[in-house]
Structure 1
């Protein structure tokens, strides 16, 4: 269970990529950049990484402190992930970033809650029930590299993909998220295998 597994790393990477939805967040990042001038990609990526790694190792302890079971958290997380997926497919905005956080725009809202938001942290904790910690850690690092590259090249991506391309990507990842949410919900509700 605690061994390096390429299939697990790929699964974790794809799941987190769908939840983080950095490509779908490009319009928000572009809008923020226009408002505050410059987004510090390194700072945002590092802050998000620290949050995700901390939650990977201490998430269960934090829940125990509040007397919440992993199953309860997983069900709540599945509902959040479902809402994120619905938001992406239907083109509605349920989770609103705070555009007025000018000075720290790299941390809030980009690092948190855009990259390492409730959906991402919930997913990381839920993944621990199915995948080895080392593989989740590697999946997080791969996603942080992707996030950094995307943040650095938002202008180029905006030109290349266009509005239609970004909309198609959002909807594809929205369907993936809905499927993940249903799977998490079912396994948390009907199996006692969650750690």
Structure 2
């Protein structure tokens, strides 16, 4: 059974993967000179969409894996690799192509509902965030476990909502250097967690790796 400190770790992981601070410049570029009302509307819509995506991943994600015949240990390794790719990009203060590739970035202006696509999916609640929620969800099956992860998701979404609403103010206060420092710190945390997922998956697939001499 996970301890309360583990749920703090889950919160930090989700915050690092969703990375609202890192997404600020991208969202600001999409909105351009949009009004405050437009920015507030994007914040509310994105918050609802991200909540829905992560809750679906939390409650039925593992069932989908079983439906497709994917073992949780295999998913831990693939999820760990995905998080590591994201972390390596974050350590360079870049947006990983697993979140948004060049072609998607060039066609942003064609999206009428940018709050859903591409802000919510795949920029914020993309494959990395979905994988993270599914991997942590399978670590317990009690009501308490799912309730605490749900609270973690809501806390991350609340921070996301605040960040999007105050993008102009935060951009002026942090500057590009401050944003890059934060992204790199989150990338460092994410890389360590990615290794944990991969190591756990390898031990599950190959029990001999955890055997003592």
**Matching of residues 1-195 of structure 1 within 5 Å:** 1=1, 6-34=4-32, 38-39=38-39, 40-95=42-97, 96=100, 98=104, 99-130=108-139, 132-191=145-204
Structure showing greater radius of gyration is 2
Which one is further off, 97-106 or 74-83? 97-106
Aligned residues: 190
Query: Structure 1 pair 109/35, CA: closer, same or farther in 2 (3 Å)?
Result: farther
What's the offset of the Cα at 1:100?
3.6
What's the offset of the Cα at 1:36?
6.9
What's the offset of the Cα at 1:186?
0.4
Deviations 1:67-125 (A, max 9, x none): 11121122111111000100011244442263244211000111111111000000001
> More helix by proportion, 1 or 2?
2
Runs of 4+ deviating beyond 4 Å: none
Which one is further off, 158-167 or 10-19? 10-19
What's the offset of the Cα at 1:191?
3.6
Distance 1:35 1:106 in 2: 16
Q: TM-score, normalised by structure 2?
A: 0.82
Unaligned runs of 5+ in 2: 206-213
Unaligned runs of 5+ in 1: none
Cα-Cα RMSD: 1.9
